[in-house]
Structure 1
Amino acid sequence: MPPQENFVPEAEHVSENKVCGGISQNPCNISTISQNVELPKKQKTSGRDMDFDELLPYVGEFGVYQKILFVLMIPFAFFVAWVYFSQIFITLVPEEHWCRVPELENLTMEARVALSIPPGTNHGNHVTRSKCSMYAVNYTEILEKGIIVADPKWPITNCKHGWEFNYTVIPYPTVATELEWVCENAALPTFAQSIFFIGAIFGGLIFGWIADRYGRIPALVGTNIVGFLAGVATAFSTNFWEFAACRFLFGFAFDNCFTMMYILVLEYVGPKWRTFVANMSIALFFTFAACVLPWIAYYLADWRMTCIVTSVPLVLALATPWLVPESARWLVSQGKIDKAIEILRKFERINGTKVPEDIYDDFKDTCAKIQKEEEAGKSYSVLDLFRSPRLRNITLLLIVIWMVISLVFDGHVRNVDNLGLDVFVTFSIASATELPADTFLTLVLDRWGRRWLACGSLIVSGIFSIWASLVSDHIYAASLAIMGRFCVNISYNIGLQYAAELLPTVVRAQGVALIHIMGYVASIAAPFVVYLDIVSPILPLLVLGILGIVGGVLSLLLPETLDKDLPQTLQDGEDFGRDQGIWDVPCLMK
């Protein structure tokens, strides 16, 4: 699944929180909600303190309106899947391609290959043909002499007139075949994919700032419109630099085109439903979109139409302001408490609930008091995470582990074309692993804990990946690789919230933002790991497997957060987990 941001409902008595309801704001669009953690409610005082999480049950924690918003997540989940994966199917290159020889165009493909293409590498008993060289002879004279089979002793040269491709398995030309990104130019799709992730970094920063300055809805609409324009523009690319520029801008939409909606819905549901909404929105909607994408490309059989068909739906985001309410928590953080209450009254009407006026009055008073406390409070920066030794070590571990998870996940996604089977079928099966992975995690995460699940899923993913790299049978190897993908899906979802639970409240948002940006940096390298297939077919999965095992072992060095009060201050973060042993296992201790 793609890198999306989680929220962490923070302890309601902590005044450092930027929002009365407990949602931290940050300038990089990484607002954090932990779906699986319910923090202890504060004791009621005579002043009837009432924050957002205490107000929400009066409005309805998962009523009719929240269910409508859950359904409205569907198009945005489709958008992020198509933004993330579409380049795979518009840059495919058929395994079989050879130098084009104009003099032989009247012959059959088999006759052209037999006469002009020297042998390539040996795969068992099967001898392939060279993809980047041809015999350097006078083909007109060869034809006049009636020669139909090449002499291996003929001189060899590089392709002079471009290439021809066998479109039997991949039944349509792609931008890579049209612009002949093969042989010495074979790395260009890899560079384009890395440029996409660079765009994602800039997009996260820009639209994160918009989200915090102008609201979630403007950011949600803006990121989808940029994705729409860049996606459609991609279809008109005529060279690599035009294509790369479009992919850079298209990367602006990655993550953000769904995350803003994800944030909004999670902000409006109660803690008991956050696990379901956060995980099942991915398991159902994102998974289905990813599974159907290969067949959209297959049946359209035109890379330009694939770009257009998967990009035009993003323009539907223009209807968002009329269908989706602005974040009430964000409105409160901006001092627009009356506007937030107006939205909550709409929830009342649709959910069929009734909130007493004195509850709203207490809510207003509490928000005003917290804002005054914040104005006098100390400001913190992400640098504070590195000032004390233990918290610094935890932060560095979180960064390294998330970079490993991001790289391994994206590597498995993009390595599907190297598995030697039908890329359309294999991609759909691999994408479908998201559903059981998310469902499994929803059932066990709050029983088994984060640390050992993260460790186990990463190590098992690594074992399956290494195993797959050592197997010669394509079906066997692909099955093992898909199991590796299943396990890293679990790791990814754990990693999304682990950082949000370990970092202190006062720097949580900024810290999670830093970690996610470093994940994007790691994803830039993922296409190059997959490209190692050019050197040796076993290298991509071998590298992904080794990284997975290393990341799993490092996960054991983190504290467990299950059933623990989340750290609020920097000192809390420094002391968190000191009483834990490396072999502590929550489910066994219970």
Structure 2
Amino acid sequence: MEMADPTTPLLSPREPEEAPKHKSNDETIEDSIGDFGWKQFVQSLLISFAWVFDAQQTFISVFTDAQPAWHCNHQDQEHDYCRATGNICQLPRSSWSWDMPDNSSIVSEWSLECTGSVVTGLPASSFFMGCVAGGLILSTLADSSSLGRKNMLLLSCLLMSLAGAFTVFSSNIWIYSALRFVCGFGRATIGTCSLVLATELVGKRWRGQVGIMGFFCFAVGFLSLPALAYLNQGSSWRLLYLWTCIPALFYCVLIHFFVHESPRWLFVRAHEKELLATRKSNNDLYSAIGMLVEKSWAMKRLAGVMAVGFGTGMVYYGMPLGVGRLGFNLYLSVTLNALSELPAALFTFFLIGRLNRKPSVLGFNTLSATCSLTCGAIMTMTAGGGGGETVRWRRGLEVGLEVVAFFGACTGLNVLLIYTLELFPTCVRNSAVALVRQALVLGGVVSPVLVAAAAKYGVMMLSYGVFGVTIGLCGLFATWLPETRGRVLSDTMEEEEHKLSDEEPAPVC
């Protein structure tokens, strides 16, 4: 009988067991916090409510710094000359009066109606300059310091609210402008911390939708301003600051007691402490910006989104300041702009999961540019004269185009901020979003002076032309950026670089 070959195994060998798959940091955190639940919804909503007060302080100057309507006094020949001139700077003060009490606006209270455009636009520009300064000084603290997202949100809201409340004691435009600067300084990181903190509390599947909650809250805050200003008409402009700042101070108490810190930030901070011996960045509060600058891929992305942000900011902050100059009721005009924020947020909320980021940003910027340029062209036609009915029709078309242009800028901004969240890892995400918002407010610094100068010299069509050209050209920088739809968030620069190396196409032989 033939013996079996001793080298032949009696049993077939087992298939080697598959090694357990190593979970990424993103998956580990999501397993801990869950995807999305009621607790996360309440937390995200409470955090996002900071945008309400952000919006109110951003656009409050549209009403407090507006030039009130005026009328000619009935004094025989002087009255006829007053009506024929139509320019209060060429009339004696006794021949005309404000329709509202002098304290209804800073312009009438401090007799600024005939000052230069630089002075009249100074408070609004000071606010945005404060935003720029605050963004540069405070933005990276949420990434690099021990403060974190929650405490930075609390600090920013508190500083903005206190500065706004103290504004009621302003005795001249210089003190007022200085306090607006401080208010903007505090406001600089509210939207950034709120957006990043809210989105880091939920799983990646709900990241876009939770981010949109902040945009809805911003729309609510913006929409509340015309209502508050309408109720306040005939009263002091100082009351409008109290009505918006006192509730914000109470909101700061809610943040302190009920908001939790970002688990992603806590995870990264704990990881950094373990590697303290090998990483020097922990001792540098501004290391996040250093990491962004030293990596060529990060710098390219940052330059692209900041360029897009500057153009978007020119339209987003400039148009509400100029809409009152279109010959329509100020309260109605601002309400229409505020209402356009809602469909912009709804559009982004329902479609953010299906929208490719790059073409969306480019498309909405192009829409805004086209409508803004067309609005400026129609203004030129209106300035040329025509019948009363024709002028009214053209003015209505101007407002319609202005609202669509603003809608395009709003929606483009919403997508841009979500896009920025996805472009950068956790260790620098707050800083990157903050720098994009600084680019936005740089556009806001220029806008008030541009609008004031255009209104003074009767060339509002020029400001809308500048808005259109700027947002159109800046939107083209989106073509530099990679697509991020559906990508997993990275936590470290090394993790993102590893993904970049995996995404590089193999060389062709």
Q: TM-score, normalised by structure 2?
A: 0.79
Deviation at 1:75, TM superposition (A): 4.2
The reply to whether residue 328 of structure 1 matches residue 263 of structure 2 is yes
Is the deviation greater in 231-240 or in 74-83? 74-83
Q: 1:518 aligns with which of 433, 436, 439?
A: 439
Determine the C-alpha separation between the residues in 1 that align with 2:358 and 2:21.
40
Cα pair distance change 1:549/1:518, threshold 3 Å: closer
Q: 1:272 aligns with which of 202, 205, 220?
A: 205
Structural mapping, 1:331-370, within 5 Å: 331-335=266-270, 367=271
Cα pair distance change 1:419/1:573, threshold 3 Å: farther
Q: 1:415 aligns with which of 314, 319, 322?
A: 322
Determine the C-alpha separation between the residues in 1 that align with 2:503 and 2:21.
34
Q: Which amino acid aligns with 2:323?
A: V
Name the structure 2 match of 1:132. Answer: 89
Cα pair distance change 1:197/1:219, threshold 3 Å: same
Deviation at 1:185, TM superposition (A): 4.2
Q: 1:476 aligns with which of 386, 397, 407?
A: 397
Deviations 1:11-36, CA, capped at 9 Å, x for gaps: xxxxxxxxxxxxxxxxxxxxxxxxxx
Q: Which amino acid aligns with 1:196?
A: F
Name the structure 2 match of 1:304. Answer: 238
Q: Which amino acid aligns with 2:278?
A: A
Determine the C-alpha separation between the residues in 2 that align with 1:45 and 1:112.
97
Determine the C-alpha separation between the residues in 2 that align with 1:374 and 1:509.
21
Structural mapping, 1:118-517, within 5 Å: 119-120=84-85, 129-134=86-91, 159=92, 164-167=97-100, 173-208=104-139, 211=142, 212-283=145-216, 285-301=217-233, 302=235, 303-316=237-250, 317-335=252-270, 367=271, 371-373=273-275, 375-377=277-279, 382=289, 394-471=301-378, 472=382, 473-502=394-423, 510-517=431-438
Determine the C-alpha separation between the residues in 1 that align with 2:436 and 2:48.
27
Q: Which amino acid aligns with 1:130?
A: N
Deviations 1:230-281, CA, capped at 9 Å, x for gaps: 1122112111111011111111232434543443332221212221111133
Name the structure 1 match of 2:477. Answer: 554
Name the structure 1 match of 2:55. Answer: 81
Q: 1:539 aligns with which of 431, 441, 462?
A: 462
* 2:373–2:464 contact (8 Å) kept in structure 1: yes
Name the structure 2 match of 1:114. Answer: 79
Q: Which amino acid aligns with 1:490?
A: T
Deviation at 1:205, TM superposition (A): 4.2
Deviation at 1:555, TM superposition (A): 2.7
Determine the C-alpha separation between the residues in 2 that align with 1:475 and 1:574.
50
Deviation at 1:434, TM superposition (A): 1.5
Name the structure 2 match of 1:69. Answer: 43
Determine the C-alpha separation between the residues in 2 that align with 1:189 and 1:71.
37
Q: Which amino acid aligns with 2:35?
A: E
* 1:401–1:555 contact (8 Å) kept in structure 2: yes
Q: Which amino acid aligns with 2:87?
A: S
Deviation at 1:49, TM superposition (A): 5.6
Determine the C-alpha separation between the residues in 1 that align with 2:498 and 2:25.
23
Secondary structure of 1:183 counterpart: coil
Q: Which amino acid aligns with 2:438?
A: I
Cα pair distance change 1:563/1:269, threshold 3 Å: closer
Is the deviation greater in 251-260 or in 381-390? 381-390
Q: Which amino acid aligns with 2:42?
A: I
Deviations 1:484-542, CA, capped at 9 Å, x for gaps: 00111111112223344445777655554444333332321111222223231211211
Determine the C-alpha separation between the residues in 2 that align with 1:414 and 1:557.
31
Name the structure 1 match of 2:389. Answer: none
Cα pair distance change 1:267/1:94, threshold 3 Å: same
Determine the C-alpha separation between the residues in 2 that align with 1:503 and 1:320.
26
Structure number with higher helix proportion: 2
Q: Which amino acid aligns with 2:255?
A: T
Q: Which amino acid aligns with 1:478?
A: V
Deviation at 1:576, TM superposition (A): 10
Cα pair distance change 1:110/1:297, threshold 3 Å: farther
Name the structure 2 match of 1:94. Answer: 68
Determine the C-alpha separation between the residues in 1 that align with 2:449 and 2:499.
36
Q: Which amino acid aligns with 2:79?
A: A
* Unaligned segments of structure 1, at least 5 residues: 1-43, 99-107, 121-128, 135-158, 336-366, 580-590
Secondary structure of 1:164 counterpart: strand
The reply to whether residue 529 of structure 1 matches residue 450 of structure 2 is yes
Deviations 1:165-190, CA, capped at 9 Å, x for gaps: 234xx997211211111122454231
Is the deviation greater in 395-404 or in 510-519? 510-519
Q: Which amino acid aligns with 1:372?
A: E
Cα pair distance change 1:111/1:318, threshold 3 Å: farther
Deviations 1:18-77, CA, capped at 9 Å, x for gaps: xxxxxxxxxxxxxxxxxxxxxxxxxx9769767464344454332221122234246423
- The percent of aligned pairs where both chains have the same amino acid is 23
Deviation at 1:200, TM superposition (A): 1.6
Name the structure 2 match of 1:24. Answer: none
Determine the C-alpha separation between the residues in 1 that align with 2:268 and 2:486.
28
Is the deviation greater in 65-74 or in 315-324? 65-74
* Unaligned segments of structure 2, at least 5 residues: 1-17, 282-286, 383-393
Is the deviation greater in 63-72 or in 229-238? 63-72
Q: Which amino acid aligns with 1:314?
A: A
Q: Which amino acid aligns with 2:53?
A: F
Q: Would you say how many aligned residue pairs link Structure 1 and Structure 2?
A: 459
Cα pair distance change 1:408/1:68, threshold 3 Å: same
Determine the C-alpha separation between the residues in 2 that align with 1:59 and 1:393.
33
* 2:422–2:487 contact (8 Å) kept in structure 1: no
Determine the C-alpha separation between the residues in 2 that align with 1:377 and 1:233.
43
Q: Which amino acid aligns with 2:401?
A: L
Cα pair distance change 1:399/1:297, threshold 3 Å: same
* 1:560–1:577 contact (8 Å) kept in structure 2: no
Determine the C-alpha separation between the residues in 2 that align with 1:194 and 1:259.
20
Cα pair distance change 1:459/1:374, threshold 3 Å: farther
Determine the C-alpha separation between the residues in 2 that align with 1:381 and 1:274.
22
Determine the C-alpha separation between the residues in 2 that align with 1:560 and 1:244.
41
Q: Which amino acid aligns with 2:246?
A: V
Secondary structure of 1:437 counterpart: helix
* 2:361–2:415 contact (8 Å) kept in structure 1: yes
Determine the C-alpha separation between the residues in 1 that align with 2:345 and 2:194.
19
